[in-house]
Amino acid sequence: MAEQNDDQVTDWNDQSGERWVVHQARLDAMLAVFGQVAIEAAAPAKGERVLDVGCGAGASSLALAARVGSAGQVLGVDISEPLIGRARALAPKDSPALFRVADASSAELPDGRFDILFSRFGVMFFDDPTGAFAHMRRALQPGGRVAFVCWRGATENDWMRLPMSAIKGIVPPTAPADPEAPGPFSFGDWGRVARILTGAGFTDIAIAPFDAAVPFGEGGTRDAAIDDAVHMALEAGPLSRVLADQPDDIRTRISAAVRAAFAALPGERSVMISGAAWIVTAHNPGS
Ligand SMILES: C[S@@+](CC[C@H](N)C(=O)[O-])C[C@H]1O[C@@H](n2cnc3c(N)ncnc32)[C@H](O)[C@@H]1O
C-alpha cells in the first residue's frame, strides 16, 4: 500500500527538488516578498521557537532565525534531501536554524515545543492536510500561532495562467487537475483552508489575500529579460513538466508563444508577473 505523501517525496527528491536547487537563488528572489509578509504575520520575537514546514532551501528559516536570535530556535523540515542539503550549505555556522529531512505530517516532533508554525509555500502538498495540521499542532505550545503563505487559484496567478494559456493549441489539452489534489494550488479555495485548519483543531483563523508583481525575468535589456522569463517558465516554472519529452519543433513553438505572452507584461529590464497568495494565520487554543 502506498505511504502518505509518497508521490511528493519522490518528486521533491527527484525532478522538482533538483530543478529548485538549480534555480534556488532566482526562486528565493521571487518568493521573498511573499515570505516576508508571512513572517510579519507570524511576528516572531527574540527567543521564540519556530517550526518552518516545507522549508526547502531554507531562505525563510534563515529570515526567521534572524528574528528570533540566538536565544531562539528555528527547525526547518522538508522531505527533500537535495533542498535540505542546500539549506545546510547556505546557513551561517552560528545560525539558530537547524534543518531536518522529514515529512512534517508524521515527523516525530516534541509536544508543545514551538511558539510558531510557519511555512512559505510548503503546506499544500499533504495527502491528508487535516491530519497533517493536527499532527503539527501538537508540536505547538498552547496559545501558539500559525502563519503561512500559500497560492490562491491557478487562474489568479499569472505566472501559471499566462504560460498555460499560451500553449493551448500547441499541445493537446490535459484533463483538468483535481483542485484538492496535493500541489501548489490545492489551498486556492480559502473555504477549504479554513475547513482544514478547523478540522485540525485551530481557532482564530484569518485568511487574507496578498498580491505582488515579481521579476520573473531579468536582463541587461528588455529583450534579454523576456528571454530570461521564457527560460524560467520553461525550465523552472509551470511548463517544465509539459515540455518533458516534447520534440524540438513543439518546444520552439511553445517558446515563441510564451515569449509573445510575456512581451505584453510590464517591466523595463525585467518582466513583472503577478502572483496571488493567501496569508493565513491561526492559533492553537489552550492558553
Ligand atoms: C514550493 S516548495 C517551497 C520551498 C520553500 N518553503 C521556499 O519557499 O523556497 C515546497 C516545499 O515543500 C516540501 N514538502 C512537500 N511536502 C512536504 C511534507 N509532507 N513535509 C515536509 N516538506 C514537504 C517540498 O519538498 C518543497 O521543498
- Which residue's alpha carbon is nearest to atom 2 within ligand 1? 122
C-alpha 79 to ligand 1 mean position (Å): 7
Q: Which residues pair with 273 in a beta bridge?
A: 214
- Which residue's alpha carbon is nearest to atom 5 within ligand 1? 56
- Which residue's alpha carbon is nearest to atom 27 within ligand 1? 56
- Torsion angle defined by CA atoms of residues 31, 29, 89 and 241, in that order, rounded to the nearest 10 degrees: 60
Query: Is the Cβ atom of 52 under 6 angstroms away from ligand 1?
Result: no
pLDDT value for 246: 87
pLDDT value for 2: 66
Ligand 1 atom nearest the C-alpha of 107 is 20
Rounded to whole angstroms, the maximal C-alpha distance in the chain is 62
Burial, 119: exposed, middle or buried (Cβ in 10 Å; 0-12, 13-18, 19+)?
buried
Domains of the chain: 6-153+176-213+275-283 (3.40.50.150)
C-alpha 78 to ligand 1 mean position (Å): 6
Burial, 93: exposed, middle or buried (Cβ in 10 Å; 0-12, 13-18, 19+)?
exposed
Write the pLDDT tens digit of every residue in 175-188.
Answer: 778 999 999 999 99
Question: Model-level pTM?
Answer: 0.96
C-alpha 71 to ligand 1 mean position (Å): 26
Helices within 222-265 (DSSP H only): 222-235, 239-243, 248-263
Task: Quickly count: other Cβ atoms within 10 Å of residue 107's Cβ.
Answer: 17
Query: Is the Cβ atom of 121 under 6 angstroms away from ligand 1?
Result: yes
Amino acid code (one letter) for 246: Q
Write the pLDDT tens digit of every residue in 184-223.
Answer: 999 999 999 999 999 999 999 999 999 999 999 999 999 9
Pocket test for ligand 1, best of 78, 99, 100 (most atoms within 8 A of CB): 78
C-alpha 220 to ligand 1 mean position (Å): 32
Fill in the DSSP letter of residue 153.
Answer: -
Write the pLDDT tens digit of every residue in 53-71.
Answer: 999 999 999 999 999 999 9
Amino acid code (one letter) for 120: R
